[in-house]
Amino acid sequence: MKIRSIMRTKVVTLQANEPFINAVEATASERIRHLPVLEGERLVGILTLTDIKHASPSPLVQGSKTQYRKLLAETPVSRIMRAAPYTASPDASMAEVVRLMVQNKIGAVPIVEGDKLVGIVSELDVLKTFLTVLKAIE
């Protein structure tokens, strides 16, 4: 099975120069855990919910809510993102992509043609496909 058959093509992305607060807001409002980061149309990184949590200032640290939001607004996504993420082609097999996820302990793989992002596959997409297969054989 080719990964193009299960990849999501409507992908929420960020530009590398966008403020970090946009990542915080996007993951919360869209209920997603992986944000590909672009420069124009070229994939340059990925930001995960875990990355966001690690980079966010702790509410236990002294400071006002205004200072907290200012810090998030002044920090570009490029400072937090993981550069050069693992990627796959739309023609890669599902087995190749799952192997990439397992071997590298990652929860999503951006799908690219050249440097251009065309989709994303997350562990949830893989599990949904697996569930469909299980239902078919039961």
93-123 pLDDT tens trace: 999 999 999 999 999 999 999 889 999 999 9
User: 126 versus 68: which is more confidently predicted?
Assistant: 126
Q: Which pLDDT score is estimated for 3?
A: 96
- Segment 66-77 mean pLDDT: 83
Between residues 107 and 138, which one has the greater pLDDT? Answer: 107
* Measured CA distances, 99 to 54, 107, 130, 137 (Å): 26, 12, 14, 23
Assigned CATH class of 3-137: alpha beta
- Condensed to tens digits (0 to 9), the pLDDT of residues 78-87 reads 999 999 999 9
Mean pLDDT of 41-60: 87
Residue extents of the structural domains in the chain = 3-137
Q: Categorize the per-residue pLDDT at 63 as very low, low, confident or very high, splitting at 50, 70 and 90.
A: low
Contact, 97 vs 90, CB < 8 A? no
Q: What are phi and psi of 56, to 5 degrees?
A: -75, 140
Q: At residue 40, what are phi and psi to the nearest 5 degrees?
A: 70, -120
